[in-house]
Amino acid sequence: MPETLELLIRSGNTLISIETTDEQRAVERVRDVVRKLAQPLFEWSTTTGLRPLQGDGIIGDPVVQPGDAQPALEHLHEGPVSAVYVFKDLGLHCRKAFIHRLVRDVALACSRTASTIVMIDALALPSEIRRFAVRYQLGWPDATELEQVVRRTFKRIKRESLQNITSKISKRDMNMLIQSLRGLSSVEAERVVASAIFDDYALTSEDLPRIVESKRTLLGSSGCLESIAADVDMTEVGGLDNLKSWLAKRRHAFTPAARKFGLELPRGILMLGVPGCGKSLCAKAVASDWNMGLLRLDPGVLYQKFIGESESQLRQALAQAEAMAPMVLWIDEIEKAFASASTSSADGGLSKRMFGTLLSWMQDHRHPIFIVATANDIAALPPELMRKGRFDEVFFVELPSPVARRQILSIHCQRRKRDPGRFDLDDLVRQSEGFGGSELEEAVRSGMFTAFTEGVELETRHIAAALNATRPLSKLMQEDVAALRAWAAHRCVPAD
């Protein structure tokens, strides 16, 4: 069980680090603890200086004026009173050698007076100072905190607004609203709720879709997790019958009945295969079929320029996914994020550390999160990723068979409100040997454009012409596809 902030302070830890973007919630957590311990509380930031705070939020005159961290730290070094000192964004100042040394000296002085420095930083601490600080994980707001945010936001808007603000929301709707807000900080949740209220000056069950969409926008702009709409049904995926059967057996594995039966939570699957054959589509279909949310981890956003910040980004993303569980976590083209973990790289071992963090989490987490990872280049993947215990199964997604190509063509015709029976699918299947699912879809789309330009209804000849004008990836990269097939022949489970 993680140590509480109160226990860390009472145990005599002089330097405690809280890495979070939810600064106000972290400050409130410290205030609650200090109020319970009946200790003085001081707060410093470069814009406000060092000032005393009381448990009820009353702020006193600055003891040290706003500016650089050095005067405030020297004030503590000269003779700190027994108190808790909150320093905001001190980590950025610790990159200077003098400040780094001064922080360590102040920590030693604080140990003599039973004082504690709590560092609240939005960015990862420099490695030079992180090793001297005890890390406290704030975590994400739980259901109780989120309900308080909703009620507090509604009361504030009702009090301050000139409009008549109403609320008509049942207990069930409130639970659904809180579930929709999970994975957001308290400040983000407050903004989302406020936006929903101001839209129609009311808080009702009809605001739930708006809140979900606002959350998706927030996640897409604030981190490396993106909330994806799971708008693809499993019936819209052509072929892959073996994979579908495997997933169907685990559809209800996250229910209380499965826990009572003694089933363990499914961990996830790794899908290897030819690009454009439905791997990414399956991630959306799984989330839709299992009635779970879908999060996509964007590997490109993980890597940051400051030392330690990339690992912090990954840990934060995984913690955020845990807070939003049950959830499907989709890691698309995973080899692009961790390819250099299996080779000698010039990134100072960053990829290997990131990869180790991910592997440890995949092995140890006990949250209802199902991972769907996709990869196109198997040679770039470290072998540790594919052993049992990381994923439940490794599937190889082959080019669609004739039966699967017929299904895919039918699906894309139906999506465009065309009757598949009107087309010579047997002829199209023969002409599309070696085509992937995305190439078949593009052929139907291209045929639609041609038919529209001619001013006629879509016919078989339009799709056939598009197929004949396309050189599929399996021919353009014939050697690579053959090598991939040979590698997967005795190492992976066929998805079809």
In order of their start, the domains of the chain are 5-135 (3.40.50.300), 143-222 (1.10.8), 234-397 (3.40.50.300), 402-476 (1.10.8.60)
What is the predicted pLDDT for the residue at 481? 85
Q: How confident is the model at residue 350 (pLDDT cuts 50, 70, 90)?
A: low
Give the mean pLDDT of 150-164.
Answer: 89
30 alpha carbon, distance to own chain's centre: 27
Q: Which residue, among 177, 238, 187, 250, has the nearest Cα to 209 in the 3D structure? A: 177
pLDDT confidence bin for 340, thresholds 50/70/90: low
- So what's the pLDDT on residue 172? 84
What is the DSSP secondary structure assignment for residue 400, as one 8-state letter? P
**Is residue 118 pLDDT above 90, yes or no?**
yes
Give the pLDDT band (50/70/90) at residue 319.
Answer: confident
Rg (CA), the chain: 28
Is the Cβ–Cβ distance between 376 and 335 less than 8 Å? Answer: yes
User: Mind giving me the DSSP string for 295-328?
Assistant: EEE-HHHH--SSTTHHHHHHHHHHHHHHHH-SEE
Q: What is the pLDDT of residue 214?
A: 80
Return the pLDDT at 223: 63
What percent of the chain has a predicted confidence (pLDDT) above 70?
A: 92
CA atoms within 13 A on the CB side of 71: 14
The pair of structure tokens assigned to 116 is: 């504690």
Lowest mean pLDDT among 23-37, 99-113, 412-426, 476-490: 476-490
Q: What is the mean pLDDT of residues 184-207?
A: 87
Residue 154 confidence (pLDDT) above 70: yes
pLDDT of residue 308: 56
| The residue to which tokens 């902030």 are assigned | 5
Contact 345, 319 (CB under 8 A): no
Q: Which range among 250-254, 425-429, 477-481 has the greatest average pLDDT? A: 425-429
Its pTM surpasses 0.85: no
Q: Which comes out higher in pLDDT, residue 59 or 433?
A: 433
Q: What is the pLDDT of residue 2?
A: 46
Residue 186 pLDDT level (bands cut at 50, 70, 90): confident
Mean pLDDT is lowest, of 198-207, 293-302, 485-494, for 293-302
**Mean pLDDT of the region 294-312:** 68
Give the closest residue to 117 by CA, choosing from 78, 59, 72.
72
Average pLDDT of the chain to the nearest whole number: 85
- Pick the closest to residue 496 from 314, 273, 223 (CA basis): 273
Mean pLDDT on 90-104: 91
